[in-house]
Structure 1
């Protein structure tokens, strides 16, 4: 997936010193939480309502995300089952002053559409 100018990110944030690990990069757990937020937004849009992450089938850190960089997550629905969706997410880092984005993480999340009682329901 390319981070083209035409596509809007699901999540865009600035990495802060509070997210730093001992190497000056950003904690992988913080990145995972941001990916889960993006999966939630993408899943809710596709399912037209509540959904929940039930699995992360793939999570690959490709390059360090550094404190002070802008972190943008783009996503697309890879496939839809009866009540579940496979969501492909890609995270990119860039200088907040602009410039080239570089891919730092890719993931495949599985999300399930939920009814008002928290049980799975069909994806429309």
Structure 2
């Protein structure tokens, strides 16, 4: 993971808090899916769809004033699909310490104009 280049950086809002006072897991999951989709779209050079989420792990809660950075790296590349490891870190407190908060493996498939799987572009 290149910690210098997050795919996405965002800040949760008050409406994203769950009953425990932490950021709702679904909000985090959607940010991860957005970041993975951005990377997959670039690699596929076109439309992609999320087809699986594996080994999702919530390490520590996200707090309201955290700044969230989402990092993505291709872990596997198939004929039509990409498995992308997505890691989320929170910058927290006066020290702006980076804290790992969640990680997951998302699989995306490249789509043609009929929304059917298509081959990924060849590597050069």
Normalising to structure 2: TM-score of the pair?
Answer: 0.91
Structure 1 stretches of 4+ moved >6 Å: none
Find the aligned partners of 2:117 and 2:103 in 1 and give their Cα distance.
26
Find the aligned partners of 2:98 and 2:44 in 1 and give their Cα distance.
30
Deviations 1:18-64 (A, max 9, x none): 00011111000111111110111011011111101000012100001
Q: Name 2:87's counterpart in structure 1.
A: 90
Q: 1:57 aligns with which of 54, 59, 65?
A: 54
Q: Does 1:115 align with 2:103?
A: no
Q: Name 2:35's counterpart in structure 1.
A: 38
Matches within 5 A, 1:67-86: 67-86=64-83
Distance 1:97 1:50, change over 3 A: farther
Secondary structure at 1:101's aligned position in 2?
Answer: strand
Unaligned runs of 5+ in 2: none
Find the aligned partners of 1:73 and 1:97 in 2 and give their Cα distance.
20
CA offset at residue 97 of structure 1?
6.2
Cα-Cα RMSD = 1.5
Q: 1:26 aligns with which of 16, 23, 39?
A: 23
Find the aligned partners of 1:25 and 1:87 in 2 and give their Cα distance.
26
CA offset at residue 95 of structure 1?
3.0
